[in-house]
Amino acid sequence: MRINKLVLFVLLFLTTNIFAHKVTGVNLEVEKLEKNKILINAYFKKSKRVLIGNKIKLISMIDNRILFEDKLKSKGLITFIPNESYWIYLIIRDKDVVIDGPAPLNGFEKELKKEPKAFLYSLVISLIFLVLSFFLMYKKRKS
């Protein structure tokens, strides 16, 4: 029984880490403007109240450099689109919301090829632990 609790705990831990970088109730919107600019807005989903003063960072996917950093204003934040693939981070206290940034009109000069391996690895490990826990429960009931 102790092993089953341990397996269940590890399984629960892995499945909760799959959904990291999401803050419930907050939306981060990015709108492309002309001349390779973007407008970044963030607001609460239910009340539609705009977030003001939260830090926004544009971070390079290639070498994790901070490409741009500023705080949100009441009418949003307007900035140029970087020439390399990047993430947009909205920092809310100790949590953050992360989305991929849109490409400029001519495309990125440096682009990182993304592969969804983390989700696949977490899914496979979770399924292995699930099958293992069922096997152990069946073995214990049989003996």
pLDDT in tens, 101-137: 888 888 888 777 666 677 778 888 888 888 888 888 7
Q: What is the mean pLDDT of the chain?
A: 81
Q: Which band of pLDDT confidence, cut at 50, 70 and 90, is reported for residue 37?
A: very high
Q: Which band of pLDDT confidence, cut at 50, 70 and 90, is reported for residue 70?
A: very high
| CATH class of this structure's domain 2-142 | mainly beta
Q: Say how far apart CA 86 and CA 106 lie, in whole Å.
A: 15
Q: Looking at residue 19, what is its pLDDT? A: 52
DSSP single-letter state for residue 110: B
User: Which residue type occupies 52?
Assistant: I
**Percentage with pLDDT > 90 across the chain:** 17
Strands 66-71 vs 55-60: parallel, antiparallel or unpaired: antiparallel
Residue extents of the structural domains in the chain: 2-142
Q: Looking at residue 115, what is its pLDDT? A: 67
What does the longest C-alpha to C-alpha distance in the chain come to? 72
Cα dihedral 41, 64, 119, 101, rounded to 10, equals 30
Q: Say how far apart CA 2 and CA 13 lie, in whole Å.
A: 17
Return phi, psi of residue 90, to 5°. Answer: -110, 120
More confident residue, 44 or 110: 44
